[in-house]
Amino acid sequence: MTASRVTVVVDSRYGSTLALARAVTSGAASEGAEVRLCRVAIDEPEFSVDSERADFIAAQAEFRELPRATADDLDWATGIVWGSPTRYGLMSTPLRAFIDEVAPLWRQGALIGKVGAAFTSTGGMHSGNE
């Protein structure tokens, strides 16, 4: 039997979504899966975050240490897990941009048969916490 290979692609601002991604990664590994934890590009405008907050500064330092996700990470995986902070009720713009970037895999049929899952975190009023 072939071992499961799980790619966890995460975007995170203040560390909550990254903490969830690490829990997903740990859980999959504890069941014998090979796991890759990677991040999306960091390209959001600075005005959209509170860049002076200590938790943001610490979380971004940890987030930037992760390898950037590529189409090869998705192609390698038998399962793909997406993690995103909620931004106005939607996934983050950087995660959406990455999904658009890897559209050739979808067009080639390379994602057929892969297991998928997603998780999110939210911290603001009217952003999914209701």
Biggest CA pair distance of the chain: 49
Q: Measuring CA to CA, which residue among 48, 57, 55 is closest to residue 93?
A: 48
pLDDT tens, position by position, 55-99: 777 877 888 899 999 999 999 999 999 999 987 788 989 999 999
- pLDDT-derived band at 9, boundaries 50, 70, 90: very high
Entry pTM: 0.87
Provide the 10 A C-beta neighbour count for residue 100: 8
Q: Which helix (H) or strand (E) holds 27?
A: helix 16-30
For residue 48, give every residue at least 6 positions away whose Cβ sits within 8 Å of its Cβ, in sequence order, or none. Answer: none
Domain map (residue ranges) of the chain: 5-90+111-121
Domain topology for 5-90+111-121: Rossmann fold (3.40.50)
